[in-house]
A and B are shown apart, each in its own frame.
Chain A
Amino acid sequence: MRSFKSLGAVVGAAALALSASAFAQKDIVIGLQCDRTGPTQTVGVFLCPGYHDYIALVNSKGGVGGAKIRALEIDHEYKVPSAVESYERHKKEGAVLISLYGTPQTQALTQRLTEDKIAGTSPGFGSAAAANGDKFPYIFPIAASYWSQAAGAVQFVKDKLGGSLRGKKIAYLYFDNPAGREPLPVLEALVKEEGFEMRTFAVPSPGVEMGAQVIDIAQRFKPDFVIAHLFGRSPSVSIKELKRVGYPLSKVVSFVWGSAEADIIAAGGWATAEGYYGLQFAGVGSNYPVLKEITEMYKKQGKAAPKEMASTVFYNRGVLIAAIHVEAISNAVKAKGGTNITPHDVKLGFEKIKGFTLGGLVPPLEINNVDHEGGGWVQIFQAKGGKWVKSTEWFKAYPTLLKKMLATGG
């Protein structure tokens, strides 16, 4: 009799579990394109784990509105056909938003995202003009575009050189591809506005050969500051070369893809790069509450924090991207009053993001239906004593000029 009772209990429990799973809310799916192989793998191997760790943290606290979030990661190796395939796969899985990865991939999917009315985010990728929500309703750069970075860099140089750029000389050292040339219109407009002299120095792909440009900068042009916009291996080469010819690195500021720990290490270590400035669109370092929560979460599972966390620049960018996605989703869930949200709800959710800073890791973004960039905030860090040290607070530069350029499309 007793065994029957326990059998009944088991059956009952099983039935309960079954019905519970039948009534459990469906996961909210995010389509995550993230490359751990291919030309941008140096970024992805740190950024993608950061993304997943934040999602895991949200899920460990019960998800959004009771529903778990599932980020389906697909690595497209920076190839456009694979990116198209991965987008269609995400759509089939019911993704409510797409996290794009790579400039040509963002360009290739822009029209399809607009047709399917699914929001795609392109932090640090794509074109600066996409920040205009009127023209690109379903593309969200959510982080400072190259235009905003150019404005931020010039503002920083201006402050460093005593508040005026009149008669000063700035060298622009850039990777010779569309992304490298994109900031030029902003820089040229600022030359007129601020009255400084600018000379451009192009580095051809793959960007590991720039001895001539660097000697030109250091010994002929002799600028008061260098603004560098390089990718991949080339930032570390630029640090090494500028050091070699004796140009002070404390007069160099790099855009976001040349300002990671990995670049410093590849250039020969922190001692070599001492003084080098880097622009950031996510906070750097491990001194943020959310990162401590992630470490705690791992500790509770009896695991050590992942080693990717040590590369704070890219890891934190992954956390930032995930956090903004989750914020948009929770906005959508709140507005809808349930977790059965559509991609369009999430698009509207993005356009309500305001005052969400995650303890300083995320800038004070303000995304609305016109500004999909959230203001173009940047923060500057300096390589100092073996780590990145904060040099400025979050700031946005020349907003009126950028607004005018966005309205006219450059």
Chain B
Amino acid sequence: MFHRESGYYKTSYAADMALYPLPIARWTVAAVALATCIAPFVLHEYYVSILNLIMVATVGALGLNILVGYTGQISIGHAAFMSVGAYTAANLAVRLDLPFWVTLPAGGLMAAAIGAIVGIPSLRIKGLYLAIATLAGQLIIEWTINHVPWISGGAQASIEVPRPTLFGTQLKTQFQLYWFLLFFAVLAIVGTLNLVRSRIGRAFIAIRDQDIAAEIIGINIFRYKLLAFAISSFYAGVTGVLYTYYLGIANYEQFQIVTSIDYLAMIIIGGLGSILGSIFGAIFVTLLPIVIRLGMENWGSFLFGDADIRNLIPNLRLILFGGLIILFLVLEPEGLNRLWRNIRSYFRVWPFSY
């Protein structure tokens, strides 16, 4: 991640695909792991809560990146799959009193099943047309949850869920939930890392680059496109379950189309078809509004009066957010991940770059 050999020395495919390309990579991963373990002990609860939101968003962004970035199938129904996971887990947890280690995979699998169904049109249509088909999926799922009390748990369409219990302790505080969410975020990252370098992942990439060519070399398009939708929706469903346990409630109003677009923004800003990019995107989209607000609160008073600042902060945040996205995409259309790689490759042979 933070290191590079000073040239190209790989001589076999196995070496190229290794999770740890260099011995030092192990140390980097160990350092990052250590930092994430120390963080909740030294940071204030508020910052831990931001990390928690980032971790939930990371799982969702990874899932969407598998579908959009690796397989090249556009989806704007990601938030709806989250709500499928959320309501499945909530119903199981409340009605059957099941623990999270049952409801969490169940929510994911349910979302995967629904996602595979919504993905069926992808076999015939591509691009913008597929986007509209998944939009229909989003709206149908929203409508169904909104109108079927058996799923939504009544007119309010929200189900209160007891927080997850582990070894007899209920995980309530941000500190406790941090470990809960960290476990699943790490699982999602490691899972995706291994998925994309497996046979399935390479099939996805082949479909993305040219689906007819992929079919000719023997990839079953039908199977792999639906698999991509199912895996991506599984991640989305798990994200929904994590939100449900984190907030203590399943509520469909937080999984509306705006949320789908937020997740698309995350992976586009972070970098399509990259795992680090999904993490960067989740961090960027979660942190940017907070950073802009903090900046305005601290330094805005030099320029504006109090009442004006209050009007300015939210609006300026929207303007800056939009402006920065445009700026990033103009500077580097392949996202933050590519920006990061450019920096690294600059230092690869530094200081003898010529």
Measured CB to CB, the closest approach of chain B to A73, in angstroms, equals 6
Q: Would A182 and B247 be within 8 Å (CB), given that A48-B310, A75-B317, A88-B174 are in contact?
A: no
- Does residue A25 face the partner (Cβ distance < 8 Å to B)? no
Query: In whole angstroms, what is the CA distance A37 to B248 when docked?
Result: 26
With a CB–CB cut-off of 8 A, which chain B residues contact A88? 45-46, 49-50, 174
25 A-B pairs (CB sep. < 8 Å): A36-B311, A36-B314, A36-B315, A37-B318, A49-B307, A52-B307, A73-B313, A74-B293, A77-B314, A79-B254, A79-B258, A79-B262, A80-B243, A81-B56, A81-B57, A82-B289, A85-B286, A104-B251, A110-B248, A111-B163, A127-B156, A127-B158, A129-B156, A178-B155, A178-B158
With a CB–CB cut-off of 8 A, which chain A residues contact B146? 176-178
Query: In whole angstroms, what is the CA distance A367 to B157 when docked?
Result: 28
Partner of B156, one of A77, A79, A81, A182: A182
List residues of chain B with CB under 8 Å of any chain A CB.
44-46, 49-50, 53, 56-57, 146, 154-158, 160, 163, 172, 174, 243, 246-249, 251, 253-254, 258-259, 262, 286, 289-290, 293, 306-307, 310-311, 313-315, 317-318
Q: Is the CB of A91 within 8 A of B310?
A: no
Q: Is the CB of B314 within 8 A of A107?
A: no
Q: Is the CB of A89 within 8 A of B155?
A: no
With a CB–CB cut-off of 8 A, which chain A residues contact B158? 104, 107, 127, 178
Q: Is the CB of A178 within 8 A of B157?
A: yes
Measured CB to CB, the closest approach of chain A to B261, in angstroms, equals 11
In the complex, which residue of chain B has the Cβ closest to the Cβ of A73?
Answer: B310
Q: Is the CB of B253 within 8 A of A103?
A: yes
Interface residue tally on A, bucketed by range: 35 or more
**Shortest Cβ-Cβ A-B pairs, 9 listed:** A111-B248, A75-B314, A104-B253, A80-B254, A88-B49, A92-B46, A37-B314, A178-B157, A108-B247
- Does residue A35 face the partner (Cβ distance < 8 Å to B)? yes
Q: Which of B155, B262, B286, B306 has its CB near the most chain A CB atoms (within 10 A)?
A: B155
Partner of B249, one of A36, A89, A92, A110: A110
Q: Is the CB of B290 within 8 A of A52?
A: no
Q: Is the CB of A184 within 8 A of B254?
A: no
Measured CB to CB, the closest approach of chain B to A128, in angstroms, equals 9
Query: In whole angstroms, what is the CA distance A36 to B318 when docked?
Result: 11
Q: Which of A48, A107, A177 has its CB near the most chain B CB atoms (within 10 A)?
A: A107
For chain A, residues 82 to 102, give those with C-beta under 8 angstroms from any C-beta of chain B. Answer: 82, 84-85, 88-89, 91-92
In the complex, which residue of chain B has the Cβ closest to the Cβ of A80?
Answer: B254
Chain B, interface SS category = helix
Q: Would A84 and B157 be within 8 Å (CB), given that A73-B310, A79-B258, A103-B253 are in contact?
A: no
Q: Is the CB of B253 within 8 A of A178?
A: yes
With a CB–CB cut-off of 8 A, which chain B residues contact A35? 314
With a CB–CB cut-off of 8 A, which chain A residues contact B258? 79
With a CB–CB cut-off of 8 A, which chain B residues contact A410? 154-155
Query: In whole angstroms, what is the CA distance A88 to B155 when docked?
Result: 29
Partner of A111, one of B44, B154, B160, B254: B160
Query: In whole angstroms, what is the CA distance A91 to B46 when docked?
Result: 8
- Does residue A337 face the partner (Cβ distance < 8 Å to B)? no
Partner of A104, one of B56, B160, B254, B315: B254
Query: In whole angstroms, what is the CA distance A52 to B157 when docked?
Result: 33
With a CB–CB cut-off of 8 A, which chain B residues contact A176? 146
Partner of A108, one of B249, B286, B289, B311: B249
Query: In whole angstroms, what is the CA distance A110 to B103 when docked?
Result: 22
Q: Is the CB of A91 within 8 A of B160?
A: no
Q: Would A92 and B45 be within 8 Å (CB), given that A37-B318, A103-B253 are in contact?
A: yes
With a CB–CB cut-off of 8 A, which chain A residues contact B254? 79-80, 104, 108
Measured CB to CB, the closest approach of chain A to B63, in angstroms, equals 16
In the complex, which residue of chain A has the Cβ closest to the Cβ of B157?
Answer: A178
Partner of A85, one of B49, B246, B315: B49
- Does residue A66 face the partner (Cβ distance < 8 Å to B)? no
Query: In whole angstroms, what is the CA distance A45 to B254 when docked?
Result: 22
In the complex, which residue of chain B has the Cβ closest to the Cβ of A41?
Answer: B314
With a CB–CB cut-off of 8 A, which chain B residues contact A73? 310, 313
Measured CB to CB, the closest approach of chain B to A309, in angstroms, equals 12
Q: Is the CB of B251 within 8 A of A89?
A: no
In the complex, which residue of chain B has the Cβ closest to the Cβ of A185?
Answer: B155
With a CB–CB cut-off of 8 A, which chain B residues contact A84? 49, 53, 246-247
Query: In whole angstroms, what is the CA distance A272 to B314 when docked?
Result: 34
- Does residue A112 face the partner (Cβ distance < 8 Å to B)? yes
- Does residue A166 face the partner (Cβ distance < 8 Å to B)? no
Measured CB to CB, the closest approach of chain B to A174, in angstroms, equals 11
A36-B315, A45-B311, A111-B248 are known contacts; what are 5 more A-B pairs with Cβ within 8 Å? A36-B311, A49-B310, A104-B253, A129-B156, A178-B158
Query: In whole angstroms, what is the CA distance A305 to B57 when docked?
Result: 43
Measured CB to CB, the closest approach of chain A to B36, in angstroms, equals 19
Measured CB to CB, the closest approach of chain B to A236, in angstroms, equals 22
- Does residue A306 face the partner (Cβ distance < 8 Å to B)? yes
Query: In whole angstroms, what is the CA distance A114 to B104 when docked?
Result: 25
- Does residue A181 face the partner (Cβ distance < 8 Å to B)? yes
With a CB–CB cut-off of 8 A, which chain B residues contact A36? 310-311, 314-315
Query: In whole angstroms, what is the CA distance A88 to B50 when docked?
Result: 9
With a CB–CB cut-off of 8 A, which chain B residues contact A37? 314-315, 317-318
In the complex, which residue of chain A has the Cβ closest to the Cβ of B259?
Answer: A79
In the complex, which residue of chain B has the Cβ closest to the Cβ of A88?
Answer: B49
In the complex, which residue of chain B has the Cβ closest to the Cβ of A81?
Answer: B53
Query: In whole angstroms, what is the CA distance A129 to B50 when docked?
Result: 30
Measured CB to CB, the closest approach of chain A to B175, in angstroms, equals 12
Q: Which of A103, A104, A182 has its CB near the most chain B CB atoms (within 10 A)?
A: A104
Query: In whole angstroms, what is the CA distance A92 to B251 when docked?
Result: 26
In the complex, which residue of chain B has the Cβ closest to the Cβ of A78?
Answer: B258
Query: In whole angstroms, what is the CA distance A129 to B160 when docked?
Result: 13
With a CB–CB cut-off of 8 A, which chain A residues contact B310? 36, 48-49, 52, 73
With a CB–CB cut-off of 8 A, which chain A residues contact B313? 73, 75
For chain A, residues 212 to 262, give those with C-beta under 8 angstroms from any C-beta of chain B. Answer: none
Q: Would A182 and B155 be within 8 Å (CB), given that A88-B46, A108-B254, A111-B249 are in contact?
A: yes
In the complex, which residue of chain B has the Cβ closest to the Cβ of A409?
Answer: B154
Partner of B44, one of A82, A92, A109: A92
Query: In whole angstroms, what is the CA distance A156 to B72 when docked?
Result: 58
Partner of B248, one of A112, A177, A184: A112
Query: In whole angstroms, what is the CA distance A324 to B142 when docked?
Result: 36
With a CB–CB cut-off of 8 A, which chain B residues contact A184? 155
Measured CB to CB, the closest approach of chain A to B309, in angstroms, equals 9
With a CB–CB cut-off of 8 A, which chain B residues contact A104? 158, 251, 253-254
With a CB–CB cut-off of 8 A, which chain A residues contact B311? 36, 45
With a CB–CB cut-off of 8 A, which chain B residues contact A177? 146, 253
With a CB–CB cut-off of 8 A, which chain B residues contact A45? 311
Measured CB to CB, the closest approach of chain B to A113, in angstroms, equals 10
Measured CB to CB, the closest approach of chain A to B339, in angstroms, equals 25
